[in-house]
Amino acid sequence: MDDDIFGIVLAGGRSSRLTGLDLGDGGKAALVVGGEPCLGRVCGAVAAVVPRVIVVVAAGQPVPLLDSHVEIIRDTTPHAGPLAGIRDGLAHGMSHVPPPRWAFVASCDVPLLVPAVVRLLVDRARASAARFVVPLVNGHPQVLAAVLACDLAPSIAALAAAGRGPRAVLDDLVARQPDAVRFVTPEEMMAIDPELDSFLDIDTPADLARLESRGIPPSWP
């Protein structure tokens, strides 16, 4: 059954809020946390659960050394945002025959993502009729650490063309087909990730300092 899903890791962001840090052209994907680039840590967590991992990077962006099985593709629309990256990742991942049913989507800036959380979200998708399985953390939907149905590809392409972001996919489904959304509660996730570290993203230098102050890396369950 594992071939019904693949992973998409978004790594093409410009990291504009990480001012003062010399990230070079690699962006947050190359940022080292706990002795390993963020991108490698996230890919490792996803690859522990799904058979294929596709990394979407910007044109010309250097990519840290990754496992040889990771597939790397380039943005087809430069600087168009994460939803365009998801669109490109879906197009590549669905080129297999038969196409997978699900995609686990993550940004590259959640270096403490644990495989158990990925597995939980994937299991919730397979066990439900939902088309978008989204964790809730502090009341906020985590749309860039979620599972979506590949048949959302046309809607995603249309929203990306309109300049929208990943949250628009969720809002559109909630408005049109609320039963197609399965929110995963903090309580469900805290049984395997007590501090919800999987959702600690690095957007600013303060975020990085906060992670480092807690002692990195933690052990994966």
Give the per-residue pLDDT at 219: 40
User: What is the mean predicted confidence (pLDDT) over 198-207?
Assistant: 85
Amino acid (1-letter code) at residue 113: L
- For the chain, give the mean pLDDT: 89
Q: What is the pTM of this model?
A: 0.91
| Dist CA 121 CA 171 (whole Å) | 19
User: What is the mean predicted confidence (pLDDT) over 69-77?
Assistant: 93
The pLDDT of residue 108 is above 90: yes
Give the per-residue pLDDT at 216: 67
Structural domains in the chain plus CATH codes: 2-213 (3.90.550.10)
Give the per-residue pLDDT at 205: 77
Tokens standing for residue 150: 């590949």
Helix axes 115-126, 38-47, angle to 10 degrees: 50
Q: Residue 42 contacts by C-beta under 8 Å, 6 or more apart in sequence?
A: 9, 106, 107, 108, 109, 110, 111, 113
Give the per-residue pLDDT at 13: 66
